Structure 1
Amino acid sequence: MRLRIINQNQPSCRIVKRKSNFFIPSRQTITMNGKNEIPEYATFPRTFEKYRWYKPLLVLAVGVIVYFILIFVMVILFGAIYGTDATNALMGGSYESLNSEAGAYMSFLSVAIILPSLYVASRVVRDRPFSSYSSSRGGWDWKLYLKCQTIPLAIYVIYCVMYAMVHGKVSPTTFSLPYFLICLVIVPLQCVGEEYLMRGFVMQTVGSWSKIPILALIIQAVIFGVLHIYTILGVIGTVMCGLAYGFLALKTKGLEASSSMHIANNLSMTIMIGLGFGASTSTITMSNFIETIALLAVNTLALYYIGTRKEWF
């Protein structure tokens, strides 16, 4: 592939890589002193030649159609495996359904399929490359993700051990090796699916429309909270999570850091429930709320501080 330099008679010029004949994605700006300036993540879609304000709406429309097709296929498969009555009960259940293996599988997969839905929609609409949802640095950075994952994972392991020692078992153990192995795959996909939808699609869409990253951060966090069917404290806690994940996405200009924290949270909670040291519920108490916010703050500050000091991003 050839690199093409576009000189705009300004102190800096933009280097772009042509990947197809329908868009020219901007990768980075190089100033006269050679310092790289990575584009703002929230407004990144505006840097593409074929950007139009209405194209995210087309992506949403196509994505919803693909999503419901995949949901239909998933329900048919679950009906064949677990029976129609059990599948209908799981679909009508709330977060309590996560306390069973089948409920956990269905819940996680129903969110994980957001990824292929968004991918297909972006390819159909052809508004911009799918990698632009990952970051404004040129796509998903696996090295950065793995570095980031070590911090929240360590914090959640310490927290879960302390929680188990203090509270003990609260429910029967449903944990099994197949359950653990399956969750190692579908839980990260579920978390990344939410990140691509909320911090990727929603935050970048609002940011591109308004050109105000902080507004995009707040709106996506509110939507993220409302989509989670908890009591009021749970919704507020989820909004705070959305703000923290969005903050990391804006500051790191990508989804790797927020995804690492999201995955560590959901995976550790899933394992704790399977081992009987926790139970999923839609009713959030004040103590649950305080623990969630404290753990969220520690993870966010630790990840951002260490990552900045070590120049990960």
Structure 2
Amino acid sequence: MYIKKAYSENFDFVKYLPIPIVFLGLIVLNYAAIALLNIDVEELLREEIAKKGANRVFIETLLPMAVLLGVLLLWVKYVQKQSITSLTTAREEVDWKRIWFSFGLWGGITALLIGIAYVTAPENFVLNFKPIPFAILAVTAILMVPLQTSFEEYFFRGYLMQGIGVATRSRLIPLIITSVLFGVMHIANPEVGKIGYILLLYYIGTGFLLGIMTLMDDGIELALGFHAANNLISALLVTSDWTAFQTDSVLKDMSEPSAGFDILVPLLILYPILLFIFSRKYGWSGWKEKLTGRIRLTED
């Protein structure tokens, strides 16, 4: 069972605390600074891009997450003495086919939805394609985005899910906590500033989707693939002046964002369909036990 992979006779929850304290503390400090100094994140990004260029700002945005991924994996391996495989999956080896299937499925759906939006409302988009900047973006995004998304998955669905699960002997508690924290982590994103705090429901809902995937599938492979596809395809195909990723993408969305359609369609339609496809392909069963059951760490 995936959560139990973090447990051993020498398990010490205190060793889990420095990583979340530092990372979540940085998020709190960042948001506090933005709120107290009344910083316009959208305007700040615009100024930075004008000064440095979109690709450089994109790299600078992703680089801290890539560094944090390295720190997290080294901490797990050398401080907690846990293998990276057991942080990833309950299987004997990481199932790369699962990662690629999830990546291809959600990447295809994302690209299709962007295509439909462009065909049905072309007036909302302008062609933003410039061969050389896009080529640089493509190389950068392919290298950096998976590192960024992998850190978030290893931290939330791996590190915290396992640590909280072992500490509480519960599946439901870590599912709720990690999903809410994942959503709140995006509170300083310019999208939230543009649309409003209601957008956090989308991020929290996405956190629940990824958490359910992890618990039902006994590993974070599907979550890794989904998250990488979501961020990578979006970064390459479409950008706007009010998103966290402002890139030299193919298209630029000029429409005014709204909270209703963009939140309800994924949460109420696309995510349930995705879970249904995964459940059929991988033979998921025992939903209640896997999502809400107690965890027995020993046979006693």
Relative to the length of structure 1, the TM-score reads 0.68
Q: Tell me by how many angstroms 1:59 deviates.
A: 5.1
Aligned to 1:182: 140
Contact 2:128 2:250 in 1 (8 A): yes
**Mapped contact 1:195–1:258 kept (Cα < 8 A):** yes
Correspondence 1:275 to 2:245:
no
Q: Judge conservation of contact 2:125–2:252 (CA < 8 Å) in 1.
A: yes
User: What's 2:36 paired with?
Assistant: none
**2:169 aligned to 206, 211, 214, which one?**
211
Greater RCO, 1 or 2 (C-alpha within 8 Å, sep 6+): 2
Q: How far is the alpha carbon of 1:116 from its aligned partner?
A: 0.5
Contact 1:206 1:216 in 2 (8 A): yes
Q: Do the aligned partners of residues 236 and 53 (structure 1) sit closer, same or farther apart at CA in structure 2, a change above 3 Å counting? A: same
Q: Equivalent residue for 2:59?
A: 105
Q: How does 1:1-313 map to 2 (within 5 A)?
A: 39=1, 41-46=2-7, 48-58=8-18, 60=20, 93=44, 100-168=54-122, 170=125, 173=128, 175=130, 176-228=134-186, 229=188, 230=192, 231-271=196-236, 272-273=238-239, 274-278=249-253, 285-287=258-260, 290-311=261-282
Task: Tell whether the 8 Å contact from 2:101 to 2:225 is kept in structure 1 after alignment.
Answer: no
**Counterpart code for 2:67:** I
Distance 1:260 1:302, change over 3 A: farther
Distance in 1 separating the partners of 2:18 and 2:168: 18
User: Which amino acid in the other structure matches residue 55 of structure 1?
Assistant: K
- SS of 1:137's equivalent? coil
The C-alpha deviation readout for 1:24-55, integer Å capped at 9, x for no partner, is xxxxxxxxxxxxxxx1x234312x23212222
> 1:135, 1:253 within 8 Å by CA — same for their partners in 2?
yes
Q: Give the length in aligned residue pairs.
A: 245
| Cα displacement (A) at 1:251 | 0.7
> What is the deviation of 1:106?
1.5
Q: In 1, Cα distance between the equivalents of 2:67 and 2:164?
A: 23
- Runs (4 or more) in structure 1 with deviation over 6 Å come to 95-99
Question: Can you list the C-alpha shifts for 1:213-272, whole angstroms capped at 9, x where unaligned?
Answer: 111011011111111122312222111111111111111111111122212211122121
TM-score w.r.t. length of structure 2: 0.71
Identity of aligned residues (%): 21
What letter is aligned with 1:156? T
User: Post-superposition shift, 1:145?
Assistant: 1.3
Verify the 8 A CA contact 2:202 2:267 in the aligned structure 1.
no
In the alignment, the residues of structure 1 paired with residue 44 and residue 93 of structure 2 have an alpha-carbon distance, to the nearest angstrom, of 37
SS of 1:277's equivalent?
strand
Find the residue that maps to 2:13 and give its secondary structure.
coil
For structure 2, the residue ranges without an aligned partner over 5 or more in a row are: 27-39, 240-248, 285-300
CA contact (8 A) 2:55 2:136 kept: no
C-alpha contact 2:104 2:229 (8 A) present in aligned 1: no
3-state secondary structure, aligned to 1:145: helix
Give the aligned residue type for 1:276: L
Call closer, same or farther: CA 1:218–1:181 in 2, change over 3 Å: same
Alignment CA distance shift 1:227-1:163 (3 Å): same
Matched residues in 1 for 2:185 and 2:16: separation?
Answer: 20
Rounded to whole Å, the distance in 2 between the matches of 1:96 and 1:279 is 18
What CA distance in whole angstroms lies between the structure 2 residues aligned with 1:250 and 1:143?
18
Which has the larger helix fraction? 2
- The aligned amino acid for 2:117 is Y
For structure 1, which runs of at least 5 residues remain unmatched after alignment? 1-38, 68-88
